[in-house]
């Protein structure tokens, strides 16, 4: 039987040249099967060698112990695996929960008895008492923080604070989003609040040239139907943003934000046809106005 592994090795080694010569004639699947088979054979050989070595070690151990004067019974006892002494299953659990085992129940009995019912002198576990007193301390701290010193906010106050913070965040987001607008994406608006902002910006920046009511002064009248650079909201945005240097119209790209320019453009369109007093004579070409509801 001991010669079988060596026969298998010889067979595998002898077959290798044949496999190498016919390698090109074998399919990939066949090659994989041969590879897997070789691996399995090698593992079996390794396992066989390990078993032989183990048996050899045992025989050598017996020989050495016998030469030292051990009897056969002592040798067998020495070769037996050491059994680890296991602790009772409930011992660890009892220690964690500070419980007494059932075997000690009689020693915990209290002397008095009621209707045949006896009571155990089994105190509450320490971990439970720590947890219980922790809840009391937490409750006292909560009472002082939220109801006595008003350090923390109750739910209704916290809700109002969070809503105020959300409103601030909303305004910041809208302001950033509004400043992403340009002459290609600007839209007509009818929101009175935004038109009022546009009016305020117009009076502070545009009124010196176009009049307080856009009736025209140095610059053209912006309330009639005549236009020099287009009457679309996109045209107005572009004119305000880049200006018309050849005619003295400055660029406001660096002084005003995109949102402010959009608000001014929409305000100008909202005052179409208002016919303010002292309006300047028409300039440019007459076109159909892109008009909003009057503010």
Indicate the pLDDT class of residue 169, thresholds 50, 70 and 90. very high
26-45 per-position pLDDT tens digit: 566 667 778 788 889 999 99
Is this prediction's pTM over 0.85? no
Average pLDDT over all residues of the chain? 81
65-78 per-position pLDDT tens digit: 778 777 777 777 77
101-116 per-position pLDDT tens digit: 777 777 778 888 888 8
Instruction: Say whether pLDDT at 51 is over 70.
Output: yes
Say which residue, 84 or 183, is predicted with more confidence: 183
Residue identified by tokens 């059932």 is 102
User: Which pLDDT does position 293 carry in this prediction?
Assistant: 40
């Amino acid at each position: 039987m001991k010669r079988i592994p060596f026969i298998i090795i010889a067979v595998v080694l002898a077959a290798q040249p044949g496999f190498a010569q016919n390698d090109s004639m074998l399919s990939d699947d066949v090659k994989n099967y041969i590879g897997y088979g070789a691996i399995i054979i090698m593992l079996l050989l390794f396992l066989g060698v390990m078993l032989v070595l183990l048996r050899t070690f045992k025989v050598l151990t017996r020989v050495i112990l016998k030469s030292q004067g051990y009897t056969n019974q002592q040798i067998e006892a020495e070769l037996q695996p050491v059994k680890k002494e296991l602790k009772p299953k409930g011992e660890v659990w009892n220690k964690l929960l500070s419980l007494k085992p059932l075997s000690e129940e009689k020693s915990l009995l209290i002397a008095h008895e009621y209707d045949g019912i006896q009571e155990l002198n089994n105190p509450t576990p320490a971990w439970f008492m720590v947890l219980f007193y922790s809840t009391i301390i937490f409750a006292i701290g909560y009472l002082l923080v939220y109801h006595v010193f008003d350090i923390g906010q109750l739910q209704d106050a916290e809700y109002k604070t969070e809503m105020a913070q959300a409103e601030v965040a909303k305004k910041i987001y809208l302001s950033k989003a509004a400043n992403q607008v340009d002459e290609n994406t600007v839209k007509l608006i009818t929101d009175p609040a935004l038109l009022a902002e546009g009016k305020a910006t117009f009076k502070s920046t545009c009124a010196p040239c176009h009049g307080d009511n856009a009736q025209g002064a140095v610059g053209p009248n912006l309330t009639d139907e005549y236009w020099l650079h287009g009457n679309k909201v996109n045209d107005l945005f572009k004119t305000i943003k880049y200006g018309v240097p050849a005619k003295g119209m400055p660029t406001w790209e660096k002084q005003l934000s995109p949102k402010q320019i959009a608000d001014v453009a929409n305000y100008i369109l909202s005052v179409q046809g208002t016919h303010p007093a002292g309006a300047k004579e028409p300039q440019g070409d007459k076109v159909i106005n892109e008009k909003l509801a009057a503010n």
